[in-house]
Amino acid sequence: MKDFWNKFLKILASARDKSIFFFKNNILFALFIIAMLINSSLLRFLTVKNFTAISPVLADLAFVLFIGSFAYFFKPKNRFKYYFTWSIILTLVCFINSIYYTNYVSFTSFSLLATSLQLAGVSDALGTIMEIKDFAYWWAPLMLIFAHRKLLKSGYYSKVKTAEKVRISVLKCLVAAAIVAGAFISTLTGTDLSRLYKQWNREYVVMKFGIYVYQSNDLIASLKPQISPLFGYDTAAKEFREYYEEYPQDSEDNEYTDILKGKNIIVIHAESFQNFVMDTEINGVELAPNMKKLASEGMYFSNFYSQESVGTSSDSEFTYSTSLLPASSGTVFVSYWDRYYPSIQKYLSNDGYYVFSMHANKGNMWNREVMHKQLGYDRFYNYTKDYDIDETIGLGLSDKSFFRQSVQKIKKINKKYDKYYGLLIMLTNHTPFEGLEDTTDLDLTYTYKTTDPETGEETEVVNNYLKDTTLGKYFTTVHYADQAIGELVDNLDKEGLLDDTVLVIYGDHDAKIKRSEYDYYYNYNPETDSKYSSDDPRYDEFTKYEYELNRKVPFIIWTKDKDLQKKINKEVSTVTGMYDVLPTLGNMLGIDTPYALGHDVFSTDDHFVVFPNGNWITDRMYYDSQNDEAIMLDEDAVIGKDYIEKYSQRAEKEVSVSNDIIVHDLIKKTTESDEVINGGSE
């Protein structure tokens, strides 16, 4: 026993000596590994609160060991450049994802690089989305610079050069990386690998695989527009057919079938218009009285969710038009514009409608000039060549001027065509919600009276508590956007353009305002001009689930026709999503939508909406697939595991099938294949 103990102590001593020897002769390598591990762990702690999990640490360690090993192909004095370059790259990964997660509760994608030009028009917003914590990762490359200079002064590199025989070889580093990778792989399940491959549940992937593996995998996924169509078509086509056999589109008629057939349709794409503002007042002033009036007179979907991803407005346009979900990687408008998509624009064009779109931004923004043709628009009126920029607010032409000029264009269209369908895309209510601070009639102050306990004198205190907040700026621009919509309706009416016309209005997505700002707004303490502390009994936290549910947007179908108004006037409170618009509105317009993923709201009792990240919502519950958590919406409902499994499987199928349709152009290829088969059998 004594001999065994002595041998064990010698092994420990040898391991200690070798570790010290290794560190002395590989200081930059060791510092690089440690720094990158600290940064990746810090990112998980600041985002998904996943700091102590072993699995992502092993994944990150295997990755940085693999990357770091190739430095040994360089001479000792040149290795710093290699480590420093990689430290900049990996620090940028953490820095960018920290910013993105804070604002969008998700991790960014390399596919965003393909759409980076789209951000040029909103670059002013960048300064409003960064926080001090986002810069916490830059210590790593600075530390390497400091260490490198110290080593240069000490003559370290010349000493290492003479000790080549003790240098760790590339092969040994790769073996170490392989061992760590093997330990990591042993922790994985089939579900983990499936989610890594599909990439739509980004938060889960980072929690399980670490940020470096996630981002590397995302780089590969971002090449899918070029690579994926070459592989996996047969499997995708099989899943595509099986899905529509299992979830066929509802085809039965209901009380709203053909009710809008032959009507002119004007669609308003209401930028960043959230539903909660319709019931919000600031100092007695309603934020959205015009939208509220239209909702009360028309068909109002009050539990309606956008289903956008990284393509934001363009994703909403796509899902609204096609009833498909956004692409899992990249954006359809930029990366998959050359596919065939059945759309409401094409359906109506085939029914004799003139189809047009209008926007007060550049035609190449989100590749709209190209993609609108693909969707079936006959003409795209845009800032580049069709509008007089006579009033600029925020990112470009003001909504009020845009609408005034658009009405005159619609007036000409109305004279020329019997039936038309038009989309008007708003702009002023776009982040960073600026340009109206000095012109608004909205008072964002909080005024209250207080009494001096000694003198008994009453004084009035005015706190400008919303002035410098993004939420306060949003209230100002959304109030303006509502006024613009009210003026549009009035001007259309004055020109006689509402007599045989139906207005369709949808909020394209939420305003992307941080949860902390809502928490401040709902927990404001005027006496201290700050938020209630968490231990104050008056404090009511605005939870992450309240934040998610608050992201709903309005969807309204309205007509001036009083007889028709009576038929459609109702509030639809069941859960609905953007992909339900095409089958629901399509049924009203007398068109079939065989490839829609959504459903006609009035032909199904199974109300279900899936989001591109795999989360889903029904009338009973909201399910967070990233964290395997749920919040009950119907307190009386009794829900078991079978319920969650059923809808989780359906959510995964919808995300997967929709992406396969986009990547492999399945609708076009399947239709062509069926035509060949049917033609050959006749």
User: How many C-beta atoms lie closer than 10 Å to residue 392's C-beta?
Assistant: 13
Phi, psi torsion values for 614, nearest 5 degrees: 95, -15
- What is the Cβ-side half-sphere exposure of residue 526, based on CA atoms within 13 angstroms? 11
Phi, psi torsion values for 546, nearest 5 degrees: -65, -40
Which residues 6+ apart lie within 8 Å of 379 measured at CB? 356, 357
Asked whether the beta carbons of 105 and 550 are under 8 A apart, the reply is no
CA-to-CA separations, 581 to 316, 628, 672, in angstroms, rounded: 11, 29, 26
Phi, psi torsion values for 643, nearest 5 degrees: -65, -45
**Dihedral angle sign, alpha carbons of residues 523, 525, 531, 537:** negative
Cα angle 485-348-118, degrees, rounded to a multiple of 5: 55
Q: Is 272 left (phi over 0), alpha (psi -120 to 50) or beta?
A: left
Distance CA 438, CA 571 (A): 36
Distance CA 571, CA 556 (A): 9
Here the tokens at position 117 are 């030009």
Asked whether the beta carbons of 336 and 305 are under 8 A apart, the reply is no
Catalytic member of 98, 109, 313, 658: 313
313 is catalytic: yes
Residue spans of alpha helices (H) in 262-379:
289-297, 312-322, 332-335, 344-350, 368-375
> DSSP letter at 360?
S
Residue 509 annotated as binding site: yes
Reduce the secondary structure of 161-214 to three states and give it as a string: HHCHHHCCCHHHHHHHHHHHHHHHHCCCCHHHHHHHHHCCCHHHHHHHHHHHHH
Distance CA 524, CA 511 (A): 21
**Dihedral angle sign, alpha carbons of residues 643, 646, 649, 655:** negative
Residue 3 annotated as binding site: no
Which residues 6+ apart lie within 8 Å of 286 measured at CB? 280, 292
Map residue 465 onto helix, strand or coil.
Answer: coil
Here the tokens at position 245 are 């056999």
Q: Is 313 left (phi over 0), alpha (psi -120 to 50) or beta?
A: alpha
Residue spans of alpha helices (H) in 309-454:
312-322, 332-335, 344-350, 368-375, 399-416
Q: State the amino acid at position 173 in one-letter form.
A: C
Residue 430 annotated as binding site: yes
Helices 581-589, 312-322: axis angle to 10 degrees equals 40
Residue spans of alpha helices (H) in 247-358:
289-297, 312-322, 332-335, 344-350
Asked whether the beta carbons of 224 and 663 are under 8 A apart, the reply is yes
Distance CA 530, CA 527 (A): 8
CA-to-CA separations, 435 to 277, 291, 396, 445, 477, in angstroms, rounded: 20, 22, 10, 19, 8
Residue 665 annotated as binding site: no
Asked whether the beta carbons of 599 and 628 are under 8 A apart, the reply is no
Annotated binding site: 271, 430, 508-509
Annotated binding site for Mn(2+): 271, 508-509
Active site residues: 313
